[in-house]
Amino acid sequence: MQSFFDDSKLLKEYKSIYEARRNSSEGVKGLNVFLSQLYKAHSYIPADMILDVKDFIEQSLCPEIVFEPLRGALGISLSDKCVVSLSVLQGSLDYCLYVIFHELAHQYQYSKHGENFVEELYKDQIPVIDAAKTLIKVEVTADRYAINKVKQLFQNYLPDKPLRLNSIYKKVPVNFIAQHLQKIRDRVKLLKLTNIDDINQTIYNDVKGHLQGPSEEFTLTNC
């Protein structure tokens, strides 16, 4: 059986000296429940395929992974956990895995670049249009990584299943991302947030519906 990481050029973009986010000997909190929910939604998944997904999640050093109800987002990757919308389970298996791997790709990015590598994008440190272009690059990289992983899995275990995956972020206009970032920047300034953990928590609270008022509809996977 081919390893998830054998001869993968994309992995080299992420594999680096890991920060002390989660000790590799520690388990991923919620992993067994997460995989059970995935299997319940797609019970035809081969057992070895589930094991490969599990191995990939563990090697990402993601501290915790969960399915949760989200609004306005398919997923969000925080420094302390990876959250995937419950609604994703209702889609096809390739789409579901694509969203999961996209969010886990951000966990690899955290490990490589540091947990605050996108912090400046949410502050007024660089022009918002430049920040939007940078964010698109980050997301397109995560998209490419996720699509590659899904293709590997389906080639190994479900070669007869059709794949209909395309990068979401390649189609998103930079001005749309800039508007989204500007709204976050305005909130960061209003709430006087100073670090990426607080910024991410605010975004997370928003997509969880914890804030008062209507949520901004941003139906892409988020950092």
End-to-end CA distance of the chain: 32
pTM: 0.82
Does an H or E element contain 157, and which? helix 128-157
- The tokens for 46 are 């081969």
Calculate the CA dihedral of residues 107, 134, 11, 196 and round it to 10 degrees.
-20
Amino acid identity of 38?
A: L
Phi then psi dihedrals of residue 29, to 5 deg: -60, 135
In whole angstroms, give the CA distance from residue 117 to residue 120: 8
In whole angstroms, give the CA distance from residue 103 to residue 76: 6
Q: What is the pLDDT along the chain (223 residues), one digit of tens a residue?
A: 333 333 344 444 434 323 334 555 578 999 999 999 999 999 999 999 999 999 999 988 889 999 999 988 899 998 889 999 999 999 999 999 999 999 999 888 877 776 677 888 898 889 999 999 999 998 999 999 999 999 999 999 999 998 988 888 888 999 999 999 999 999 999 999 988 889 989 999 988 875 333 333 344 445 4
Cβ proximity of 54 and 39 under 8 Å? no
DSSP 159-197: TTS------SGGGS-HHHHHHHHHHHHHHHHHHT--SHH
